[in-house]
Amino acid sequence: MSVSTRSVLVVSDRWSIDDVWAVAPDAASRKAAVKVGKAASWPQRGAVAASAGGTSAVWGECQGSGAKPYLAAVHLDGGTGPAYKCSCPSRKIPCKHVLGLLALWARGEVADREDKPSWVDSWLDGRAARQARAADPAKAAPADPARAAATLRAREEAVAAGLAELRLWLHDQIDAGLAEVPKLGYDHWDRMAKRLTDAKARGASGWVSRLPSVARQESWPERVLEHLGLLHLLIDGYGAGDALPERTRGAVRSRVGITLKAEEVRAGGESVRDTWLVLGRRTVPGAEDDMTGLRVWLRGTGTGRTALALSFGRADQVPTTPYRLGTAVEADLSFYPDGHRIVPLPGTEAPGPVPQGTTVAAALDSHAAVLAEDPWRETWPVVLADAVPARDDRWYLADPDGDALPLAAGTPRRLLAVTGGRPATVAAEWSPAEGLTPITVWDRTGKAIPL
Amino acid sequence: MTTSDPTPTSSPAPSRAADSWDLLVSTALVGTARRAVPETPDLPATAGTEGAAALLDRAALATVRRLAGYTPARVDPVDPDPGPDLPEVGEQAARRLEAVLADRPELLPEWLGLVAAAGLRAPAEHLPALLDRGARDSSLRSAVAAACGSRGRWLARFEADWEYLLTESGPDDVFDEDTWLHGTAGERRRMLGALRAADPARGRELLAGVWPDLRKAELRRRLLEAMETGLGPDDADLLETALDDKGANVRGLALSLLTRLPHSAHADRLRAHVRAHAGPGPKGTVVTTPVEPGETGLLRDLALARPTGRIGRRERAEYLWTLVTRTPLDVWTDLFGTDPTGVLKRVSRSGDDELHDALLNAIGVQEDAVWARAALGLLKGRVTDRMVTAARGRRSLQLEPLLRVLPAEERCALVERSFGPGTGTRDVWSLLNAVPGPWTAKLAHQVVKRLGGKGWDHDQSGYRSVCLLVAERTPPELVDDLPRETPAPAAVGGPGDHAYQSLLDTLRFRLDMHKELV
């Protein structure tokens, strides 16, 4: 990859104002950006056209209260999602100046310009060079394969030791009985969780730390037993090692906490070329308290393969993703060993068709099939065809056969508004525990609308 | 961090394994040290055969089986929107709405009005956001109702906060007996409104027929609101009945409606009350006599509560104010045998500020252009002086209601004559703030010229405020005629410069908005 091919990665159509606010780290920046996003504040501004059409970058000089203008720019079609730059001292990314500039561009008030200031040139060139380096797998490979293998082996052994302790601990809990669980203090759980963290099994540690909150739920004896049972199964799975099918093994290792770097996945993971239709996105709390996670689900139009692009940001930021709703991306995607998660890399973007939906029964079948590979999986994307909102004392989404799945949240306001209660194709995340969370609806004209 | 998937946290649907599952749970509570792991013949064999390991294995198996064996519910779909609906606005206008909702909420009423005027409907995906705005701000409700079409009304039934929309009358409402008899308060109000639009007499009879049986004052008030549609002299009797209502809000509403029927018996009684309390004084003045608490007929005619104890100056002033506000203005010209200007001059001579202000208030409430012209004419270009005097006397000169009564051309022309290069910046703002839009081009140009005049360097916030008024009230086409450079002496690059450039931005934004919604 070289500088000249940058523009073929993603053709960035102009964003809608919603797209702009979606990248705002918080409500305050958004509010501040509204003030900054007036044409009068940006005497110098321009958009850099991409050679394949669309926009490659947007830049501007914001006249603030100080003598020097703030220099803000956004690189739209480079690497994993948009990149932001601003000379202001704010620590927020993107800052209000960048957001204001994007809002101005979204409203069509930033015109394409041939010339650009040197600070824009040097920033974009620097980014292109860094990407070229990162994209070269030879450079991403570990310097010393033997040493890396030894490190990994040591880690696996540490995890195995931690899990062996966890097994004994679980047995102790069950032998003693769960009756006193709600009365136990945090340190009862924290000791075990900390031991697992020390053993580099952060995933398993997370499962243990969630136990106090599970024990506070309604019908807690059932919830706690389910949780402990699945945790026990995870230990067994780790012990089974190579005897497991490849995807199950991948799921076990990632859930226990043995992580892979994106470069490792790109170098050694399964790579699938397809046109990937973006099904929808959902922002969720991250695995750690100060993080926000973004799940974007893709489906291969040729392979039918489901892919999950995860990205994370600090809790006050919306994580970025190279995939935009309503598009299909032609790309070689590298899959993690669990067979679903991918390394989010951009590809050639084109308008996406309405996905093929199924009945509720077929959607549940697909979920059951994925549970057979990964019984710990908590959420799975389904696309329902001709789905209609239904309700008794709560809300559901029903298919033409009359089968209905309960919704996780209350009134599906936007879904009702867009469909008027008429059948439509709806993409949703399904979780038997939480219910169905619609994430995208395709309206009569085939336009994808985020929910 | 490899995944964000948390553990399943609540119950999957029950299935046939329920019995075994219950046994496993109760054993886990007691503890496998004290109780043997139960037989679970309905589950496949597991690796662990005894103790805690067996129990956990079987629990995992039962859990996964229940997750994978989820059984869907059978639930009836909601009744779909029967349609048809107005066509949706185009994509450009939809984008514009996003921008308005995100950062120019002050332009939302204008956007909604343009959509309704063009016979279009707001984009479906934004209806929830618009209904929410209406829920928070009741002044937006009729505009929201008009721009959200029948889809909006269909949608409104699903959220309690949105039910207000069902009470807003729409142009395509048709009276439906069943809804009238069995609907919610709001739906009944709408049905009555639809009937009043088509056949006012039948609507009145229908309401009069159920009136004695309406237990809740709130319901009586809401149904009475529908009488506003097609209001005519024949409605006076029903309104008089409502004037005796137990509910103060019902009485107040009945009085407002009666105020719009100047030929009713009620109006005649009010005229008589005025004659009893006001008359010519010496040297061409007016004298008034206070209303006494014992005048029950007068208090009833003005929907005022009978006082429980002694009354003071404040109550007396309120009685007189209400009487003047609600009595047809012609009583004054008759009383003094002169025209409105003559009446107002006579009141001014008397130095009775309260009576004077009450009359101006009555002009606004009764929307009488002849009187408004007379009142404004007396100010003779000294509007701003009068406002200053009024402010010093802690009174408010209600200029806006007077100006609102006049046709746009006339009121703008009048305002143009009321300020010049020498008018103080504060006064310019106060005056312009009272002038409803749309402004004429001539007025706008004069305002912009004044922005280039003196005094603003000491009143930056006044400058900004005037710029905002121009931005919102001027016809947007004017943007091409206004100077592109900030009128001197607001320094280029300073806050004033920014305010003026924002003004141009807003006008351009509004111009695009208008073009998209023709």
Domain ranges of chain B: 18-68, 91-167, 177-259, 417-518
Structural domain contains residue A226: yes
CB atoms within 10 A of CB A246: 13
Q: Which residue of B25, B79, B502 is in closest CB contact with A225?
A: B25
Q: Any idea which residue has 């989010």 for tokens?
A: A344
**A91-95, B19-23, B388-392 — which is least confidently predicted?**
B388-392
Is the Cβ pair B103, A341 closer than 8 Å? no
Q: By mean pLDDT, which of A228-237, B338-347, B368-377, B391-400 is the weakest?
A: B391-400
Q: Which of residues 341-370 of A touch B (CB under 8 A)?
A: 341, 360-361, 364, 367-368
Instruction: Let me know: does B88 contact B124? Beta carbons within 8 Å.
Output: yes
Chain A residues whose CB is inside 8 A of the B95 CB are 16-17, 106-107
| Same-domain status, A375 and A342 | no
- Looking up tokens 């020498």 gives B422
> Which has the closest alpha carbon to B131: B148, B149, B113?
B148
Averaged pLDDT of chain B: 86
Q: How far apart are the two ends of chain B, measured CA to CA in Å?
A: 53
Pairing of strands A435-442, A424-431: antiparallel
pLDDT at B5: 40
Both A343 and A369 in one domain: the answer is: no
User: What mean pLDDT do residues B365-381 have?
Assistant: 86
How many A-B residue pairs are in contact by the CB < 8 A criterion?
260
Question: How many CA atoms lie within 13 Å of B150's alpha carbon, on the beta-carbon side?
Answer: 12
| Cα B269 to Cα B317: distance, rounded to the nearest angstrom | 20
pLDDT score at A111: 87
Q: In A286-345, at which residue ranges do the beta strands (DSSP E only) sit?
A: 291-300, 306-314, 327-335, 341-342
**Interface touch A287/B4, C-beta < 8 Å:** yes
From chain A, pick out residues whose CB is under 8 angstroms from the CB of B25: 221-222, 225
Contact A16 B77 (CB under 8 A): no
Using pLDDT thresholds of 50, 70 and 90, give the confidence band for residue B29.
very high
**CB-based contact, B29 to chain A, within 8 Å:** yes
Does residue A119 lie in a domain region?
Answer: yes
Chain B residues lying within 8 Å of A254, measured CB to CB? 2-3
**Residues A434, A415: one domain?**
yes
Chain B contact set for A210 (CB, 8 A): 6-7
Write down the pLDDT at residue A308. 95
| C-alpha triplet B170, B176, B181: angle, nearest 5° | 115
Boundary of a domain, candidates A317, A351, A385: A351
CA angle at A393 for the pair A387 and A399, rounded to the nearest 5°: 15
Residue A181 included in any domain:
yes
- Residue of higher predicted confidence among B352 and A361: A361
User: Which one, of A55, A15, A54, A56, lies nearest residue A37 by Cα?
Assistant: A15
In terms of residue numbers, what domain contains A291?
269-351
- CA distance to A361, B391, B396, B403, B431, per residue, from B423 (Å): 76, 16, 19, 19, 10
Does the structure show a pLDDT above 80 at B2? no
In B376-415, the residues whose Cβ lies within 8 Å of chain A are: none
Q: What are the C-alpha distances in Å from B417 to residues A328, B372, B409, B471, B480?
A: 63, 16, 13, 21, 25
More confident residue, B248 or B7: B248
pLDDT in tens, chain A (451 residues): 333 333 333 445 778 887 888 788 777 788 888 888 888 888 889 998 887 777 889 999 888 766 778 889 998 876 667 888 888 877 777 888 999 999 888 888 888 888 888 888 888 887 877 777 666 655 555 567 788 888 888 899 999 999 999 999 999 999 999 998 888 888 888 899 999 999 999 889 989 998 888 888 888 999 999 999 999 999 999 988 888 889 999 999 999 999 888 888 888 889 999 999 999 999 887 766 678 889 999 999 999 999 999 988 876 777 888 899 999 999 999 999 999 999 998 888 899 999 999 999 999 999 999 999 999 998 999 999 999 999 999 999 999 999 999 999 999 999 999 999 999 999 999 999 889 999 999 998 999 999 9
Same domain, A103 and A152: no
Residue-wise DSSP of B174-214: ---HHHHHHS-HHHHHHHHHHHHHH-HHHHHHHHHHHGGG-
First vs last C-alpha separation in chain A: 36
Report which of A31, A8, A11 is spatially closest to residue A21, judged by C-alpha positions. Answer: A31
CB contact (8 A) between residue A433 and residue B504: no
Question: Which of A16, A257, A341 is closest, CB to CB, to B95?
Answer: A16
Residue B68 near chain A (CB below 8 Å): yes
Q: pLDDT tens digits, residue range B71-90?
A: 999 999 999 998 788 899 99
- Of A351, A369, A394, the last residue of a domain is A351
| Interior angle at CA B220, CA B217 and CA B224, nearest 5 | 140
Mutate to test the interface with B, among A45, A416, A440 (most CBs of B within 10 A): A416
CA distance B274 to B332: 9
Residue A412 lies in a domain: yes
Q: How far apart are CA A319 and CA B400, in angstroms?
A: 50
B81 touches chain A (CB under 8 A): yes
Residues A87 and A51 in one domain: yes
Domain membership flag for residue A151? yes
Q: Which pLDDT value is given to residue B115?
A: 95
Query: Which residues, listed in sequence order, are joined to residue A398 by a DSSP beta bridge?
Result: A388, A404
Look at residue B1 in the predicted model and tell me its pLDDT: 37
Q: Which of A226, A405, A411, A441 to mutate to test the interface with B (most CBs of B within 10 A)?
A: A226
For residues A345 and A377, state if they share a domain.
Answer: no
| Top-confidence range, A1-15, B31-45, B487-501 | B31-45
What are phi and psi for residue B44, nearest 5 degrees?
-65, 160
**Residue B315 and residue B313: Cα distance in Å, rounded?**
6
Say what the pTM is: 0.75
Contact A275, A254 (CB under 8 A): no
CA B243, CA B256: separation in Å to the nearest integer?
Answer: 10
Assigned token pair, B417: 């004559």
Contacts of B242 (CB under 8 A, 6+ apart): B211, B220, B224, B250, B251, B253, B254
- Given a cut of 60, is residue B226 above it in pLDDT? yes
Of the candidates B258, B254, B280, the residue with the CA atom closest to the CA atom of residue B269: B258
The answer to whether residues A336 and A342 touch, using CB atoms and an 8 Å cutoff, is yes
What type of residue is B214?
L
CA distance B49 to B67: 23
Taking a C-beta distance cutoff of 8 angstroms, is the pair A87, A95 a contact? no
Residue among A34, A406, A417 whose CB faces B151 most closely: A417
Total structural domains in chain A?
Answer: 4
DSSP-assigned letters across all residues of A208-252: HHTHHHHTTSTTHHHHHHHHHHHHHHHHHHHHHGGGS-HHHHHHH
Tell whether A102 and A59 lie within a shared domain. yes
d(CA A17, CA B472): 22
Does residue A261 sit within a domain? no
Search chain A and give the residue with CA nearest B13.
Answer: A432
Q: Is A22 on the interface with B (CB under 8 A)?
A: no
